[in-house]
A and B are shown apart, each in its own frame.
Chain A
Amino acid sequence: MSTHPHPHDHSHEVTHDHTPCADASEAPPGYYEVMEIAVRELLIEKQLIGPGEIRRQIEVLDSRSPALGAKVVARAWVDPDFRARLLTNGRKACEDFGISFYDDTELIVLENTETCHNLIVCTLCSCYPRPVLGLPPDWYKAKPYRARAVKEPRAVLAEFGTVIPADVEIRVSDSTAQVRFLVLPRRPAGTDGWSEEALAALVTRDAMIGVVTLDSQPLTESDGEA
């Protein structure tokens, strides 16, 4: 059978599936899904991109997850020199650490301290430190979080179970341009002597967005091994 479109050949719909990336859902594609497929097929047909490039970029995105960011945080906790470089130029320090930046974004790392708690948001869309954290959670992209994080951050934090003392400054960073943000959480008490791997296991995605802090850890002998 030819791959040429046959508007009158109804059996054709079965054999020529335009949704190579379709999920398991049986629902017909929505407006934007159809638009995406049309643009993608046009770009490939015009040979502006190859189908392999899209697959490869999905692979790039899939290789990024909060586990990477957690390794960056743990290294910053155990290595004062790395921490200093990370706070000076987040992107450069992450690149030196082996995390490539496949886009043109810069990275500012925001250090939480006794007197300052950082929270990140993108009120305009869904800017997120994807090279180090992967894809953002759905709530981060949803309008309630985007609108409220800059207007009533303490109420938003409380809904995440996070209560920041009134004498601690809340600093909300709104991504609008080429800079992305990563929160460097405070190292939990009771983790002295922990290995970098054990520390990284404590660091959560939400802590690196700044909606939670990390709990103190009960110090046990097994945790303390280097």
Chain B
Amino acid sequence: MHPSPSEPDPRPPFRPVTSVVLALGEAPAFRPGDPVRIGVRFPVGHYRVPRYIRGCDGVVESVITPMAVNNEIEGFGHNAGSKGHYYRVAIPLTALWPGYAGSPADNLRIEVFETWLERSST
């Protein structure tokens, strides 16, 4: 598939379009490197944000693709509507567990849905 260096690539040069308007929520709210805080709320029922990370500070490692429905709404039998973003967030284990005995570099990576993330300055 790749043309050899001696043959010129016959395809026209790749120029991404710039005129597309994205739907609300289509662009990720957070980018890799953004500091975030996990929301603190305790809804009744089974939620996919484990309690041990709620309220903790972390950093976005990457945006998970593809987008997915908000399973908290779908999981309780409602139509969640448009899809949203999950983020893979890095949280130091020393931030999660006071007195963590291992290396300060040890960390957790976890996927968190956008509605649970708050922008943080730290």
Our verdict on whether A and B bind, yes or no, reads yes
Count of interface residues, chain B, beta-carbon cutoff 8 Å: 28
The 8 A CB mask of A121-159 against B (1 = contact, 0 = none) is 001100000000000000000000000001111100000
Taking Cβ atoms with an 8 Å cutoff, the residues of B that contact A are 46, 48-50, 52, 64-66, 68, 71, 86, 88, 93, 96-97, 100-103, 105-113
B106 to chain A, nearest CB (A): 4
Segment 83-114 of A: residues with Cβ below 8 Å from B: 106, 108
Known: A151-B52, A176-B50, A178-B68. 18 other contacts (CB 8 A): A108-B88, A123-B50, A123-B52, A151-B97, A152-B101, A153-B93, A153-B106, A154-B101, A166-B103, A170-B93, A170-B107, A171-B106, A171-B107, A172-B106, A174-B50, A175-B111, A176-B49, A177-B113
Cβ of B105 to closest chain A Cβ, rounded Å: 4
Residues of A near any B CB (own CB < 8 A):
106, 108, 123-124, 150-154, 166-179
A174 touches B108 (CB 8 A): yes
| Chain B nearest CB, measured from A109 CB (Å) | 13
- Which residues of A lie under 8 Å from residue B108 when comparing CB positions? 150, 171-174
Cβ of B102 and Cβ of A177 under 8 Å apart? no
User: A177–B86 contact, CB under 8 A?
Assistant: yes
Q: Which residues of A contact B68 (CB under 8 A)?
A: 177-178
Give min CB distance, A102 to chain B, whole Å: 17
Distance to closest chain B CB from A182 (angstroms) = 14
**Smallest Cβ distance from A162 to chain B, in angstroms?**
13
Residues of B within 8 A of A108 (CB): 88
